[in-house]
């Protein structure tokens, strides 16, 4: 994304900052995941596709989450509305999705069980467990001059890779532009982060009981979807980058970096 970020992207960042401000003391229990977290690691100019995401994905670590303020009340007071889906908070056409990794989300099928915060403030999601382990403190800064800034945990590249692979595997049958973009986000991570760092952090995820299973599954998805130039994930990524890089280059890059990562992961 060369030059100035577009206005939608600036607004999405403001809405995320609104939510972080409203959630006050809960901020230390939150981890930013999803595309906004990926761009923090890879930069936005690596593959020149304007990130058109206007939603922010945030997970809540229920372990140590305090009872006050009540999440729903705080967000409503800041102008957010809950959509028909648990955890999907909307303001000014931008979205903040609050999620709890399935492994720590308690019983129930969709809404996460969060005690006094109820069953609708956040929803359960599979594949995000790694963000509980692989994360680092970053500053989330307004894209407007002189705007707000908050410190927030941001999921690390290995956790993001695992979650994107789960998302892609779930969406594999849906013909959608979103799915192609998920595949390109995976390539962004493979390209933007050194193979050694990714492999080491993936090994750490595999050793934590909260995320060992999703990590092993994610690596199986990676091999199935990206290890060959003609595999489905490589194809999706090449489509999302159409017109910017030759299709064959994207396909070959997916296969080469996947092979490199799987080999480095297995090396110890």
Establish if 246 lies at the interface with other proteins (CB under 8 A): yes
Residue 3 CB, shortest distance to other proteins, in Å, is: 13
Site for other proteins in 163-202 (CB under 8 A): 190-192
- Residues in a beta bridge with 57: 33, 97
Residue 47 CB, shortest distance to other proteins, in Å, is: 7
Per the CB < 8 A criterion, the answer to whether 42 and 76 are in contact is no
Residue entry with tokens 């995976």: 186
CB atoms within 10 A of CB 204: 16
Structure tokens at 267: 């090396």
Site for other proteins in 47-106 (CB under 8 A): 47-48
At 29 the three-state DSSP class reads: helix
Helices 7-23 and 34-42 cross at an angle (nearest 10°) of: 110
The binder of other proteins chosen from 81, 249, 263, 266 (CB under 8 A): 249
Residue 235 CB, shortest distance to other proteins, in Å, is: 13
Residues with Cβ within 8 Å of 262's Cβ and at least 6 positions away in sequence, in order, are: 219, 222, 223, 227
What Cα–Cα distance (Å) separates residue 45 from each residue in 42, 192, 217, 240, 252?
Answer: 8, 11, 30, 15, 20
Structure tokens at 109: 């099928």
Establish if 244 lies at the interface with other proteins (CB under 8 A): yes
Question: By rule CB under 8 A, what count of residues binds other proteins?
Answer: 21
Per the CB < 8 A criterion, the answer to whether 257 and 195 are in contact is yes
Stretch that binds other proteins, among 31-39, 71-79, 177-185, 246-254 (CB under 8 A): 246-254
Comparison of 90 and 252: residue with beta carbon closer to other proteins: 252
Residue 7 CB, shortest distance to other proteins, in Å, is: 24
Establish if 252 lies at the interface with other proteins (CB under 8 A): yes
Establish if 144 lies at the interface with other proteins (CB under 8 A): no
Residue 249 CB, shortest distance to other proteins, in Å, is: 4
Closest CA to 135 of 59, 216, 222: 59
Establish if 263 lies at the interface with other proteins (CB under 8 A): no
Stretch that binds other proteins, among 97-105, 116-124, 178-186, 247-255 (CB under 8 A): 247-255
Stretch that binds other proteins, among 57-65, 94-102, 110-118, 239-247 (CB under 8 A): 239-247
Does the CA dihedral 74-17-138-189 come out positive or negative? positive
The binder of other proteins chosen from 78, 82, 232, 256 (CB under 8 A): 256
Interface residues with other proteins (CB under 8 A) are 45-48, 190-192, 229, 244-253, 256-257, 260
């Amino acid at each position: 994304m060369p030059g100035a970020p577009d206005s939608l992207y600036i607004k999405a960042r403001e809405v995320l900052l609104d939510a972080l401000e409203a959630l006050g003391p809960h901020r230390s229990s939150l981890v930013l995941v999803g595309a906004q977290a990926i761009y923090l690691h890879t930069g936005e100019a690596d593959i020149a596709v304007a990130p058109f995401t206007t939603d922010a994905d945030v997970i809540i670590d229920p372990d140590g989450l305090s009872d006050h303020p009540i999440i729903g009340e705080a967000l409503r007071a800041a102008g957010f509305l809950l959509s028909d889906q648990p955890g999907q908070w909307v303001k000014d056409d931008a979205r903040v999705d609050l999620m709890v990794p399935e492994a720590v989300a308690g019983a129930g099928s969709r809404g996460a069980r969060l005690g006094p915060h109820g069953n609708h403030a956040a929803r359960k999601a599979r594949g995000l467990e790694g963000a509980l382990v692989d994360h680092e403190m970053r500053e989330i800064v307004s894209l407007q001059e002189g705007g707000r800034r908050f410190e927030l945990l941001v999921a690390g590249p290995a956790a993001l890779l695992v979650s994107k692979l789960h998302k892609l595997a779930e969406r594999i049958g849906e013909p959608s532009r979103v799915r192609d973009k998920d595949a390109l986000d995976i390539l962004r991570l493979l390209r933007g982060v050194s193979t050694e760092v990714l492999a080491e952090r993936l090994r750490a995820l595999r050793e934590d009981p909260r995320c060992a299973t999703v990590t092993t599954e994610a690596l199986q998805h990676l091999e199935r979807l990206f290890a060959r130039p003609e595999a489905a994930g490589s194809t999706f990524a090449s489509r999302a980058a159409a017109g910017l890089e030759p299709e064959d280059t994207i396909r070959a890059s997916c296969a080469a970096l996947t092979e490199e990562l799987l080999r480095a992961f297995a090396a110890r």
